[in-house]
Structure 1
Amino acid sequence: MVTGGKSLKKFHDVVAPADAAPIRTSYFIVIFGSAHLLLSQLPNFNSITVVSLAAAVMSLSYSTIAWVASLEHRRHGGSSHVVDYSMTASTSAGRTFNFLSALGDVAFAYAGHNVVLEIQATIPSTPGKPSKKPMWLGVMVAYLVVAVCYLPVAFVGYYVFGNAVDDNILITLEKPRWLIAAANMFVVVHVIGSYQIYAMPVFDMLETFLVKKLRFHPGWPLRLIARSLYVVFTMIVGIAIPFFGGLLGFFGGFAFAPTTYFLPCIMWLIIMKPKKFGFSWCTNWICIIIGVLLSLLAPIGGLRSIIINAKTYKFFS
């Protein structure tokens, strides 16, 4: 919600006349969230295939624009001032908390296992052609694409702007205006797709709980109300706390690290029962320990970042 709203605002600011009246970020978050009130009614992963494909293409597009435009910005003297590569925090405590928040950012960027089982469940599987083979290939390609998208942006963005770069580098860039406007619209399309992908398991769990535990009747009225309420809730949170970096760090550690880094390893150990102190056993336990530490420490850094930003932020502005 936050990314979509801010990217819409950036698009407006770039294409609108210089004397145009400013529009609040919260209004753009509402516009972005309104699209999800419709898309959230799509029943399952198969129904959002086109949305997911568009999101993947847009991700490659805007990330490429981001690092290429950054290099052009540097080449044409856009960063003629001295670039500061020092840490933004001046105290040891601040640097430590920022490091923890950054770990949460990384966990968020490479978190996908919480939707893997949902996706694999839609793939036909037989004893002769088990779904794990195409799924494994898909996971490898997915993480390769993620690396291709993120790593150049991270290295080039830091090289060009240093510690002055925004959480979203496309917010920092200004020229060429038409290209930056297009890139921000690509981001909007991307996060529309990613929101639906990450929300689909939540929708499934929510509706299952309402039907099995609270005895609601399954059907489109339940889907309409339950999913719309979830979208509205996330939209309100995004409007109230539009701190992109802090939210990434917090949710990366709190929500995504468990389902990505240590819960799958625990399930593997319970189901497969590998030999103790063997390679597989040790590897999984290392991942579990790192994942648990990440889940405990990263949210602390992200929460601190949110609190610091909130001190100077006017809510619902």
Structure 2
Amino acid sequence: MGEASLLLHKEEEEEEAESSVNRTGNVWTAVAHIITGVIGSGVLSLAWSVAQLGWIAGPFAIVFFAAITLTSSFLLCNCYRTPDPEHGPGRNRSYSEAVAMSLGKNSAWAFGLIIQISLCGIAIAYTITSAISKRAIEKSNCYHNEGHEATCEYSDTYYYLIFGTVQIVLSQAPDFHNIQWLSIVAAIMSFAYSFIGFGLGIAQVIENEYVQGSLTGVNTSSAIEKMWLVSQALGDIAFAYPYSLVLIEIQDTLKSPPSENQTMKKASTISLVVTTIFYLLCGGFGYAAFGEATPGNLLTGFGFYEPYWLIDFANACIMIHLVGGYQLYCQPLFANAEKRISDKYPHSGFMKNEFSVKLPLIPAFQLNLLRLCFRTAYVVFTTVIGMTFPYFNEVIGVMGGIIFWPLTIYFPVEMYFKQRNVEAWTKKWVMLRIFTVVCFLVTMFALVGSIEGLISAKMR
């Protein structure tokens, strides 16, 4: 299919899409979506990451990944409309559509494989974190009643099943446009527990009357062990900026005028500045409070025991936020998979038919059998994998290593080259190639170390 016919086909699809989707988003709804997507379970490991890197490299790494993510988001915002980012006739309603239009079928296939693995990995990480937070609430109450030296051990199975059940219900929402309210609630929750972690860190520093930590971070018994921990810390920080996965899907909720890419760039800047400040405060004050003993998860590792009710509230906020975050990342995966299945079997009633369901106390809603079966099976899968590998820092580091370079660096840069017709060996081409190679080396270092950590944790 030639470029002209592709654009014509896109315009036809656009007319259909415009008639069925009412885009009402603005800068602030986009900010809510972004904060929900960016501030997730990754923020809870940042104090531990800073502890491994030390007072110089730790904050620098957070700012470094933030700057890379913002640069990438600006490149990606321009890929929403093709060929003109401001007034192009065709919308790319997802990241995968943008890759297909700009880079072709082979790149789209590779992208699809990577992003499905990434979205699935994030869902697993969120499942693990939610279960850990639920368990932390019970442990907090136990420590308060029985003393800080009490055993207070609880099985995880019950918590995983609760989270999975909630996600099965919420996953029946037809698409991304139906969960804006959930993103707003989740964004409020993320602010709440970030403030609590920050506040408890300050309180602990005041109680200690000095700042703990060192310029080089946690001391280890060997240089090899230190190297693995540093690489895992970089993976954890990379995971804290997974925004590129859902950027275009969020951009597709925006009304115009003004042009969607202008609104999205403004929302991206606001969101990443705010989240990076939170990250620096939470990571820095967590390390300042505990130094060498900084826990892997700031609010569930029990550096903080009191006030127990505040620990409980913070972990409840984490759970509510992760409920929304899970949907934010899974809805694009659901939509893509179900579209492929429906296209393969276009005349199947199982794929197309909607049934109205009315349950007590809630409004009637539409249920589709494909949606019910596929999404339920997916949630069950992520829940089982989370129960099998319940290692918070290690899983987050692996996912950060897998996600960051291809989705945040490689594809946005390649699409920018194609869209702007950047010639090889020009100044802009050389700078972006250096940018790509440096980020690749850092990400591979983080991935290898995190995989080593996961294997070691499983063997223990």
| TM alignment of 1:157-236, pairs within 5 A | 157-171=286-300, 172=302, 173-213=304-344, 217-219=351-353, 220-236=368-384
Structure 1's unaligned 5+ residue stretches are: 313-317
Report whether the alignment pairs 1:288 with 2:436. Answer: yes
Contact kept in structure 2, 1:58 and 1:190, CA below 8 Å: yes
Match of 2:162 in 1: 31
CA distance in 1, matches of 2:310, 2:209: 16
> Could you tell me whether the CA contact under 8 Å between 1:9 and 1:25 is conserved in 2?
yes
Superposed displacement of residue 31, structure 1: 1.3
In structure 2, the CA distance between the partners of 1:113 and 1:83, relative to structure 1 (3 Å rule), is closer
Q: Distance in 1 between matches of 2:151 and 2:344?
A: 52
1:315 maps to what in 2? none
CA contact under 8 A between 2:176 and 2:328: conserved in structure 1? yes
Question: How far, CA to CA, are the matches of 2:224 and 2:352 in structure 1?
Answer: 51
Cα 1:238–1:78 change in 2 (3 A) is farther
Residue 145 in structure 1 maps to residue 274 in structure 2: yes
Q: Which moved more, 1:244-253 or 1:115-124?
A: 115-124
- 1:89 to partner: Cα distance: 3.7
Residue 74 of structure 1: aligned partner: 205
Deviation at 1:288, TM superposition (A): 1.9
Distance in 1, matches of 2:380 and 2:136, equals 23
Q: CA-to-partner distance for each residue in 1:166-208, whole Å, 9 max, x for gaps? A: 2210122111111111111111111111111111221122212
Aligned to 2:172: 41
After TM superposition, give the deviation of residue 51 of structure 1 in Å.
1.2
Alignment of 1:225-264 (within 5 A): 225-264=373-412
| CA distance in 2: counterparts of 1:149 and 1:131, whole angstroms | 27
How well do the aligned residues superpose, as a CA RMSD in angstroms? 2.5
CA contact (8 A) 2:287 2:294 kept: yes
2:222 to 80, 83, 91: 91
Aligned residue for 2:299, secondary structure, equals helix
How far residue 250 of structure 1 moved from its aligned partner, in angstroms, is 0.4
> 1:209 offset after TM fit, Å?
2.5
* TM-score normalised by length of structure 2: 0.62
Distance 1:274 1:54, change over 3 A: same
- Give the CA deviation at 1:148: 2.3
Assess, with a 3 A threshold, how the Cα gap between structure 1 residues 279 and 34 changes in structure 2: closer, same or farther. farther
The answer for unaligned runs of 5 or more in structure 2 is 1-126, 354-367
Superposed CA deviations along residues 251-282 of structure 1, whole A, max 9, x for unmatched, are 11113431112211111112212244445423
Partner of 2:26: none
| Letter matched to residue 159 of structure 1 | A
Q: Take 2:240 and 2:156, find their aligned partners in 1: how far apart are those partners?
A: 24
Which has the greater radius of gyration? 2
Give the aligned partner of residue 132 of structure 2. Answer: 6
Amino acid at match of 1:235: T
Change (3 A) 1:86 1:115: closer
CA distance in 1: counterparts of 2:197 and 2:457, whole angstroms:
25
Distance in 1, matches of 2:445 and 2:345, equals 35
Aligned to 1:15: 141
Where does residue 268 of structure 1 map in the other structure? 416
Q: Distance in 2 between matches of 1:267 and 1:132?
A: 15
Equivalent pair of 1:5/1:32 in contact (CA under 8 Å):
yes
Paired letter, 1:3: T
8 Å Cα contact 2:176-2:332 kept in structure 1: no
Going from structure 1 to structure 2, the CA distance change for 1:280 and 1:42 (only over 3 Å counts) comes to farther
- The code of the aligned residue for 2:379 comes to V
Q: Aligned equivalents of 2:291 and 2:269: distance in 1?
A: 31
Q: Does residue 134 in structure 1 map to residue 263 in structure 2?
A: yes
2:186 corresponds to 1:55: yes
Aligned length: 309
Q: 2:249–2:332: 8 Å Cα contact kept in structure 1?
A: yes
SS in 2 for 1:110: coil
**Mapped contact 2:405–2:443 kept (Cα < 8 A):** yes
- One-letter code of the match for 1:268? Y
Which amino acid letter does the alignment assign opposite residue 130 of structure 2?
G
Instruction: Give per-residue Cα distances to partners, 1:30-78, cap 9 Å, x unaligned.
Output: 2122211111111222211111111111111111111211221233349
Q: SS at the partner of 1:76?
A: helix
- TM-score (norm. length: structure 1): 0.89
